[in-house]
Amino acid sequence: MESESRVPSPEAAAELLRSHGEMRERVEHLGPSRSYALLTVWGALALAVYMAAFLLSFSLTAGDPAAGGGETGNGLYSNMLVFPFLLFGALVRGAQERFSIRSRAAGSGWVAKGLVLGAFVLLLVLNLFGVDYPWLLNPMLAVAVFITLAYEPLQQLSRAPASSVEERWANQPLSPAVRWMTALIGVTSAVLLATSSESWYAYASLVSMLFLVAVLLGWRAPWGLLRTGFEWGPLHWGAFGVTMSILFLMGVLLSRTLWVTTPVSIAAGAVALLVMLAASVLPARSKAR
């Protein structure tokens, strides 16, 4: 009698088989969640814009007033591009852990990725040696980079069903440590922007790099970038995207034009600061508990 009671009913056995089949299909056939696919598309856009901005700002004519550049040397404002992009790369690793992304072998797409990387290096070398080429090649390269990197996640988004409740990427209240880190990212970015038109900008740039080194050393700390990227929702990534865009734009303008004055740089820093501070406190924690 005891052994009979341990035999599962036909309904329970069918449920177990169904659950096992769903789990196996999810592990073997399904890629990352739709939410992570959206983040990957955003990352492809960020990399494409970064490459175009880097090529536009890092050239021998940048910094030459006669050629339309700023008064300072080539590369002084490269930190406007490098600082947010390194932060982005570290934060994405946290998002990968949130979505439990498994690494997998590279497919045929590595050929296209190698070609666009080679094109970027070629244009960069031409820039360094002062070789003129049609400026339209810079945005064309950006488009090629985006298509190459976003093709697979866009395909997944087009054929995958809507996310389940468990997969839904919601904006959750941040932990206190991550709130502080989010705010500090905004403060550091704001200082970098607000001082960009001043003669002592180099010191602010050094401070931003020291901040970056510190947070990378504290990679897995409760306040580290890994945990920050893990907790961020669409609202926080959107705020960081706005801040990245401002830094990229200012980096190009400072290197190629004389348009950035003290009021402009202070206004840009204020916008970045307000956006990141708002993201650090939203959504607010519920007081119902």
The pLDDT confidence band at residue 59, using thresholds 50, 70 and 90, is low
Nearest residue to 144 (alpha-carbon basis) of 214, 215, 47: 47
Better-scored residue on pLDDT, 28 or 144: 144
* Tokens describing residue 19: 């659950």
CA 156 to each of CA 30, 164, 170: distance values in angstroms, whole numbers, following the listed order: 9, 15, 20
What is the per-residue pLDDT for 168? Answer: 60
Query: Residue 65 gets which letter from DSSP?
Result: G
Indicate the SS3 state at residue 262: helix
pLDDT tens per residue, range 100-156 = 665 454 455 677 778 888 888 888 888 777 788 887 888 888 899 999 988 888 887
Cα within 13 Å of Cα(167), Cβ side: 17
Residue with tokens 């602010």: 204
DSSP helix/strand/coil, 20: helix
The reported pLDDT for the residue numbered 135 is 79
pLDDT reading at 273 higher than 90 = yes
User: Is 67's pLDDT higher than 80?
Assistant: no
Which pLDDT tens digit goes with each residue over 185-215?
A: 999 999 999 999 888 888 898 999 999 899 9
Q: Is the pLDDT of residue 89 over 70?
A: yes
Residues 6+ away with beta carbon under 8 Å from 88: 43, 46, 240, 244
Tokens in use for 88? 């982005």
Q: DSSP of the chain, one letter per residue?
A: -HHHHTSPPHHHHHHHHHHHHHHHHHHHT--S-HHHHHHHHHHHHHHHHHHHHHHHHSSSSTT-GGGT--SSPTTTTTHHHHHHHHHHHHHHHHHHHHTTPPP----THHHHHHHHHHHHHHHHHHHHTT----TTHHHHHHHHHHHHHHHHHHHHHHHSPPP-TTT-----PPPHHHHHHHHHHHHHHHHHHHTTTSTTHHHHHHHHHHHHHHHHHTTTSTTSHHHHHHH--HHHHHHHHHHHHHHHHHHHHHHH-S---HHHHHHHHHHHHHHHHHHHH-SPPPS--
pTM of the predicted model, to two decimals? 0.77
Q: Report pLDDT for 274.
A: 97
What percent helix, strand, coil does the chain show, rounded to 5? 70, 0, 30
Cβ burial of 271 (10 Å; 0-12, 13-18, 19+) is middle
Number of Cβ within 10 Å of residue 162's Cβ equals: 7
